[in-house]
Chains A and B, each alone.
Chain A
Amino acid sequence: MDRRIPLQEFRANRRSILKSLGAAAVGISFAGALSGCGGKEQAAKIGGTGEEPKLNFYNWDTYIGETTLGDFKGASGIDVNMSLFATNDELFAKLRAGNPGFDVIVPSNDFVERMVKADMLVPLDHTQILNIKNVDPAFINVAYDPGRKFSLPYTWLLLGIGYRKSKVKAKPDSWKVLFDSPEYKGRIALLSEAGDMFRLYGKYLGKSVNGLTPEDLKTIEAMMIKQKPNVKAFHEDNGQDLLLSGEVDLVLEYNGDIAQIMTEDDDIDFIVPKEGSQLNSDTLCIPKGAPHPKNAHAFINYLLDAEAGKKITETILYPTPNAAAKALMPDSYKKNPVIFPAADLLARCEYASYNEKLQPLYEEAFTRVRAA
């Protein structure tokens, strides 16, 4: 998922203003349109959801199959209008003051926790999502959403080191090269996400990503300030571009992002450091106030279909929790060590849970690091 600032953001912005100001007017024009141009015909096309055939999907950039939305329209008659966000924070900030009209959103695991806590999600009706049977059982009972009441997994992902093979002396199999060593001075780029950075430093220090204390933060902050002169940039999750363009030789990034550019450049590889790393999972949710909840259920069900899931996975190359879709993929995907790292490494990786107390501390400490 490429989290560069999407231009489409402006579209979503405009719509959100229109929605909040002109909800009444929009409602009237919808009613008019429905009675005017043959409501019956449309109702027939909907195939049971009983809602107008529209859906607003709020997704990451480069995070859907090339034909998925068109295929879904062919299957159900529902028009999907996709807008893009670049970070979970942007998603949260946009929905915080009320849903501007989105039906399906794709928050990561810790934001699912956060949005459930803030009462921003609608419980999913599993009887309308029969394709839940395709999901790998390992992804059903998860700590951040027990029993999958609010979210269904779309992808999972893992932070690690993307690097240029010809420019490193040895495989960078430890976080040390990024966090605690001048070896690759001026040739490394780190993530500008404060929470992820502190948790991964914690991993390097042999702690659990969920077991950090305020004292640990002080230690880590000092380490970050010491390492800062060796860092070329804190990137906005566009690390794969920096690596591909030769700007840096080592970059902290998600495995799927690096897998995407490895198809363009043979000299690039990805490694999960031996200390372990942080797992994320992006999930499909329905926000409170969604105008088309039934269409949303139908859409989520469609995305979890084996064939649709395969087409999505072929494009985005992220690890899929959809076992039926994975079974349809070629070995070049299933046996790819970048996409599916070895089991013993994965055992050392953890999901981060949302920590209300530490989050502001991460941010302030990171501001100090950047200002130092």
Chain B
Amino acid sequence: MSELIHLHYDVDGEDFVSCGHASEDVRRTLKSIGISGEVIRKVSIAMYEGEINMVIHADGGVADVSICEDGIVVTLSDTGKGIADIDQAMQEGFSTATDEIRELGFGAGMGLPNMKKYSDSMDIKSEVGKGTVVTLKFNL
């Protein structure tokens, strides 16, 4: 599929307050090009969860969004501590987030399951000590 728009964002791992800027911008862009509300909602929620995860677990990272005629691909890459057991991380309720993060309203162990639920396909590649790449695809 040929790419129509490519968006790139640096997600600052130190800044919980501004976390979500990338998802906000993607949401605006998708609205401006007439993507359906349901797709915008799915992309925004999944990407926002990804951004939050990068800030909570990986000191930030980068997000790339590729908008094509027949789909949207969101790639979230970090060089954080990685995920030791992806199957375990995919279980609803499993979380390694600190109490401090829970006090901010996140870390209930719903991030990755939610990203899978809202995307049409999800791929996770992770290596402990090196980082994680999550690729989300959404059909148009």
User: Do A and B interact with each other, yes or no?
Assistant: no
